[in-house]
Amino acid sequence: MTTLAAPASRPANPNFSSGPCAKRPGWQLDALKDAPLGRSHRAKVGKEKLARAIELTREVLQVPADYRIGIVPASDTGAVEMALWSLLGERGVDMLAWESFGSGWVTDVVKQLKLADVRRFEADYGKLPDLSQVDFNRDVVFTWNGTTSGVRVPNADFIPADRQGLTICDATSAAFAQRLDFSKLDVVTFSWQKVLGGEGGHGMLILSPRAVARLESYSPAWPLPKIFRMTKGGKLIEGIFKGETINTPSMLCVEDYLDALEWAKSLGGLDALVARADENAAVLNNFVESSTWLANLAQDPATRSNTSVCLTIVDEAVNKLDADAQAAFAKGIVSRLEKEKVAYDIGAYRDAPSGLRIWTGATVEKSDLEALLPWLEWAFQEQKAALQAA
């Protein structure tokens, strides 16, 4: 078998994971030097840091002034679960799912909360369900950007302004990279470790005035764990949305999130972040369009993610293999690039179709993606040569 010559240049940063994602360009441990380690988060310095994180989130993400923003436990998952367990049950709910995390929320609502009046709108990986069938007089739960499928809603036009139900949106791989229409969203959740490359473990919960009104007027039939409770005596616990967190946060992670937010602000805020993600995704999508062996899992260009780009291998010889062999072929490419220290963690999500998943969010440098492309081709050709020689 002929040995293929490896490309001459490499990405300066090989971190293309879809979560936790690459740190901002130029990040160093020194960025955390002002973290109040060993201090209480209830001390003045801790409260100021947490309040600043909420303030900068509002500014950079362009959250309306009358929406509450809270820092909550357990990453995006914790934020979504708080919303589901605290808000649902007042009326019927429509659940939308087109990838693994959305399917997980369906399971929670149907099998854990055991709500009786649930309608499910689901689609295979690569597609969106028929959004025109959704009834917004009911509560609606959906992911804005399918992290494991690379499929996003193109905008919020499918949501009516005069809806009666609440819209609960898991936006964890969309926030700071895509424009969220908050006027159409009542609950928005995300985690620090996605688009801004922060550290894991903390989630963000954003509530519209309509969501707050539901919390204060409706009590679910089931008991709520302490970390889910957002009201007391029928009133919102306002402190949660001023930085008085329900449980102890990591002040080291808070400092890192603040650093990422300040970086985002220095670039020009949301407009700059969206532009960087769009440009990055274009680099990868242009390569895929000209490729004979790669295709975008998201079939409609209008629904393709600009952060978590999911790709399938469409080479004829590879597609003749059985499913396990196809998965092994894709994993071979991933392993080869990791061994070369060119790209880390770019395999498809475990529940998704086999292939590649490459993060193109704002903390990734365009030049690193451009340097990655010849390596993708090299690794594929090397794997295919081995397949043909077998």
Stretch 275-300: mean pLDDT: 98
Two structure tokens written together for 386:
């081995």
Domain positions in the chain: 29-266, 269-389
**Could you tell me if 309 and 358 are in contact, meaning their C-beta atoms sit under 8 angstroms apart?**
yes
Q: DSSP label at 347? A: B
Level-2 CATH architecture, domain 269-389: Alpha-Beta Complex (3.90)
In this prediction, residue 2 carries a pLDDT of 58
pLDDT value for 247: 94
Q: What is the pLDDT of residues 78-98, one digit of tens each?
A: 999 999 999 999 999 999 999
Integer Cα distance of 303 and 360 in angstroms:
15
pLDDT tens for each residue of 184-202: 999 999 999 999 999 999 9
- Reported as a pLDDT band with limits 50, 70 and 90, residue 124 is very high
Cα-Cα-Cα-Cα torsion 29, 35, 39, 40, nearest 10 degrees, comes to: -120
| Mean pLDDT for the stretch of residues 324-345 | 98
- Tens digits of residue pLDDT in 16-39: 999 999 999 999 999 999 999 999
Does 303 have pLDDT greater than 90?
yes
pLDDT of 198-222, one tens digit each? 999 999 999 999 999 999 999 999 9
Structure tokens that stand for 134 in this block: 């959704």
Contacts 24+ apart (CB under 8 A), 382-388: 382/4, 382/336, 383/329, 383/332, 383/333, 383/336, 384/293, 384/315, 384/317, 384/318, 385/1, 385/2, 385/4, 386/1, 386/332, 387/317, 387/318, 387/329, 388/317
Which top CATH class is 29-266?
Answer: alpha beta
List pLDDT tens digits, range 307-321: 999 999 999 999 999
Per residue in 363-388, pLDDT (tens digit) is: 999 999 999 999 999 999 999 999 99
Q: Tokens standing for 232?
A: 């007391």
Tell how far CA 284 is from the center of its chain: 18
Average pLDDT score, the chain: 97
Asked if the domains 29-266 and 269-389 are classified in one and the same CATH topology, the answer is no
Q: Does the pLDDT of residue 1 top 60, yes or no?
A: no
